[in-house]
Chain A
Amino acid sequence: MTADITADIKTDPAAEFWRAIADRAVDAAFALVAGDADVTIPPAGILGTAADEGREFFAATVAAFPDLLLSVKRSFTCSDGVAVTELRLAGTQAAEYLGAANQDKHLDIDQAWLMRVQDGMIRSITGYWDQSQLYRRLAVRRLDQVATG
């Protein structure tokens, strides 16, 4: 059974990406992503490439939450190569994150990610979640005063 799961992960770049992020291994995760892959993360205001904005976002995430716990709730791969992952990201804030000052709050937030996979590489990444939920958990009270809480 374990061997089967490992085999699935090795043939599924999206699953392998998330396993690497769960292990805080950002370099290993982005070894699966084309450097010029489009990265679109509207809640974080990110529209760029994997090599720059994408890597920076995930590095900031694992740095801000040293006890990061990433739980995949559901995943599937569509006939057009789009991999869908619904997950819960949890952890205790230890540094400024997406403009929110650190107040040592616990974050748990449900997210959904789309990755377009082609020829064994991730060619685009799109992330969805509600930034209001993130702010609420990090004790931010107004959208025009994110940094001050």
Chain B
Amino acid sequence: MTLASEKRANTAEASAEVVRTFFDAYRRHDVNAMVELCADNATFNYVPFELWRKQMVLRGDGKVRTIGKPIWSGLIHAVPDLTNEVKSVSADDDGNVAAEVVIGGTQAGPWGAIAPRGRPYREPHLFVMHVDGAGKIDSITCYWDDASVSRQLGHLEVD
């Protein structure tokens, strides 16, 4: 029983469906649902997310529940009309998933070092995720060009 359900959860189609459901929740701004789709100890890595300080670099690297959730909530707060468009979802039978997703909206509040200027942005992202045998996302890594986002929002300093 357990083995059969784990096998079903790990098919490419099933893993892709979990990821599509995740982005549906993101589109609804339902951060709690996004987190619930993830395993308790799911890892999180937003690769471009790095804030350079005098003696340290803060990175978007850790766990979904401690790093991912506040980043998602913070972005939704800063960009109240934040939305996403899933362009493609590819998966294998081991739970690996790659999702190309365009994320965008209009900045209404500060986001990191970027002051709000009321400008819109729209940027392609690549999410590389893993879905475990229980059908939960246990790893999220995301890549995008933050220089492009900064340009669109009118922030021209690299740091």
B128 close to A86 (CB less than 8 A): yes
Chain A residues within CB distance 8 Å of chain B? 42-43, 74, 76-80, 82, 84, 86, 110-112, 114, 126, 128-133, 135-136, 140-144
Main secondary structure on B side of the interface with A: strand
A131 close to B147 (CB less than 8 A): yes
Name the residue among A130, A133, A140, A141 with the largest chain B CB count within 10 angstroms: A130
Binds A, one of B25-33, B45-53, B64-72: B45-53
**B85 contacts the other chain (Cβ, under 8 Å)?**
no
Q: Which residues of B contact A135 (CB under 8 A)?
A: 147, 158
A79 close to B144 (CB less than 8 A): no
26 contacts between A and B (CB under 8 A): A42-B148, A43-B147, A76-B96, A77-B92, A78-B91, A79-B90, A112-B126, A112-B128, A112-B141, A112-B143, A114-B90, A114-B100, A126-B100, A126-B126, A128-B144, A129-B143, A130-B48, A130-B143, A130-B144, A132-B145, A133-B50, A133-B146, A135-B147, A136-B158, A143-B158, A144-B156
A132 close to B156 (CB less than 8 A): no
Q: Which residues of A contact B119 (CB under 8 A)?
A: none
B90 close to A80 (CB less than 8 A): yes
- Quick one: given A133-B48, A136-B159, A142-B158, are A79 and B92 in contact (CB under 8 Å)? yes
